[in-house]
Every structure is written in C-alpha cells, then in structure tokens.
Amino acid sequence: MTENPLNHLLPQGAIGFPVTPFHSDYSLDLKGFAKNLEIVLEKPFTSFVAAGGTGELYSLARDEYLSVVRSAVETANGKMPVIAGVGYGSHIAQIMAAESEKLGASAILILPPYYQNACFDGLLAYLKGISQATSLPLILYTRDWFRLSVEEAQRVADEVPTLWGWKDGQGELSSLQRIRAKLGDRFTWIGGVGDDHVSGYYGIGLRRFTSSISCVAPKLSIALHKAGAACEESELAELTDRFVLPLYNLRTRRKGYEVSAMKALLELRGFAGGPSRPPLVDVNETERQELNKILSDWSAFL
C-alpha cells in the first residue's frame, strides 16, 4: 500500500477549526478572518481548516469561498498546511477542490453533499468525482446523516485511492472502532465531534482532533491533546469537566450554537466574529454573559 501522505502532513495533535467572521450586514470580514488566524498560527497546531462546518461553508458564495481559502493560505504563509472544506453537490465540490488546490491548499475536507437521502452508490460517486478533480489528499467528514458501515468504508477505501483521512463527526465510538479495526493505517483518523470528545477519541487510540476552542483559547486545545496523548486521565478529565463542558453545555441548547457561541467568544476576546448567517441563530444577551464568564475562566489558556 502507498504510504499515507497525511501522516506527514498532519502529525499528531490539535487541528484548528476557525470561524468565518462576517460584518453586521452579513458581508465577509476577510481582515477579521486573517487577524483571527494569528491565534492559531502562533501556537503548535498541526494545521487548520478553512471554510469547514464551523466556518459556515454552506453559507458562502463561490467568490466568498475562494476569498476565504486564498486568505487562509496567504496568512498561513507556509507556517502550517491549510485544509479546505468542500461540499454542496458533486460538480460544485469538484470545482471547489480544484480551485483550492490552485490557491495553495494542502488537503481537502469533504463535507456531506446537499442531498440527505443519497444512497451509498451516489455517495461513492460523489467522493470519486472529487478525487478526480484534485491531486490533493482527501479527508472524509462523516457528520450528521452521513454514516458508513464497515463494508461501505472498505469499498470507499478500495475505490477512492486519494482518500487518506477519516474525520469522525458522529461520536459513536463503537462504530468508529469497528471501522478503524478493519482499515487500520489506510486512513489518518481524526476526532471531529468536538473538544468534549477528546477523552473518548484518545481512549480508543486516536491522536488527532479538530478543535473549535482553538480559535479562542489555543492553549486549552493544546493542553487537551497533551493530556490525552500522555494518558493523563485525571488531568484530561479535569480540563474537560472544568473548562470544556461549560461551553459545550451551552452550545447544545440550540442548533447553530456550535458556530455562534464561538463567534461570540471571539468578539468578547476582541477578535472578529459577527453574526451567523441564517438559518443559524446567534446567542442571546444572557448567554453572551455566560460566555463572558467562561472566557474569564479560560484566562490561563488565552
């Protein structure tokens, strides 16, 4: 088997997952986006995702998407690889992947397509089409309704040779373990549900995760990885219980808060956030005060 290029491109550790900031009129705030990336780039993250789920990929127009990826690559300036998110439908995702490669992205994160009732053969064709549009290594993001059985995962591995990464967005560890036991080193495995799942992911052997907290409190993300990688269970539990769960408890109150809560935290820290584009919703003023308390508790990690 050909050596997995992602193992070198994405060493073990935390992966940044920044938001895409907007102005109050919902227009793209590229200056704010570049400033926000300074938080990630100054810490030892392995890479970051431009226009991912937290980056509101599905709200971006084509020109906005290209502007975000271009800004990410230019701001990173070789300090760390940029992973570009793609989605929508097969043709659009192929164009996004091809143009992201031209702009200098190092890998592609494939989000689920727009059609939620797609059969497996349709999903496989979606992945194959993207693989034919770019030479970059691909990472599959199995979030929301996009689930694969062990047998389907094996077919994907066999028929999409440039798919080298698997980002879990389900958090169903027993299912993930079965797929990982079957495919082993064929994929680079990334925990993708959230910072609150690091204990579970690292408990079954993963050593990479995407962190929303990275764009606000980078030292906390790094601390979670170090504790998990060192099997310091008590330290990891304390970090999770004391600093991570208060945020994630708030984020689960309404759909869309996984994005808008992070934007509010960035604004409270003096960085760019702005509103989330509908149908996502913003936190209310009472919740913003709760987030301010969380940010205060994170002072040692900023």
The CATH number covering residue 183 comes to 3.20.20.70
> Nearest Cα to 21, choosing from 5, 32, 11, 10?
32
Range of the domain at 127: 6-231
Domain membership flag for residue 143: yes
Number of folded domains that form the chain: 1
Domain membership flag for residue 115: yes
Query: Residue 2's pLDDT is what?
Result: 81
Query: Residue 102's pLDDT is what?
Result: 98
Higher-confidence position of 171 and 1: 171
Domain membership flag for residue 175: yes
Domain membership flag for residue 27: yes
Domain membership flag for residue 94: yes
> Nearest Cα to 170, choosing from 195, 143, 145?
143
pLDDT of 177-235, one tens digit each? 999 999 999 999 999 999 999 999 999 999 999 999 999 999 999 999 999 999 999 99
Tell me the three-class secondary structure of the chain, residue by residue.
Answer: CCCCCHHHHCCCEEEECCCCCECCCCCECHHHHHHHHHHHHCCCCCCEEECCCCCCHHHCCHHHHHHHHHHHHHHHCCCCCEEEEEEECHHHHHHHHHHHHHHCCCEEEEEEECCCCCCHHHHHHHHHHHHHHCCCCEEEEEECCCCCCHHHHHHHHHHCCCEEEEEEECCCHHHHHHHHHHHHHHCEEEECCCHHHHHHHHHCCCCEEEECHHHCCHHHHHHHHHHHHCCCHHHHHHHHHHHHHHHHHHHCCCCCHHHHHHHHHHHHHCCCCCCCCCCCCCCCHHHHHHHHHHHHHCHHHC
Domain membership flag for residue 259: no
Domain membership flag for residue 86: yes
Q: What is the mean pLDDT of residues 43-72?
A: 98
Query: Residue 33's pLDDT is what?
Result: 98
Determine the Cα–Cα distance for residues 158 and 187; give it in Å rounded to an integer. Answer: 12
Query: Residue 1's pLDDT is what?
Result: 61
pLDDT of 70-127, one tens digit each? 999 999 999 999 999 999 999 999 999 999 999 999 999 999 999 999 999 999 999 9
Question: Does residue 63 register a pLDDT over 90?
Answer: yes
> Nearest Cα to 18, choosing from 46, 54, 44?
54
Kindly report the number of other CB atoms within 10 A of residue 240's CB atom.
19
Domain membership flag for residue 82: yes
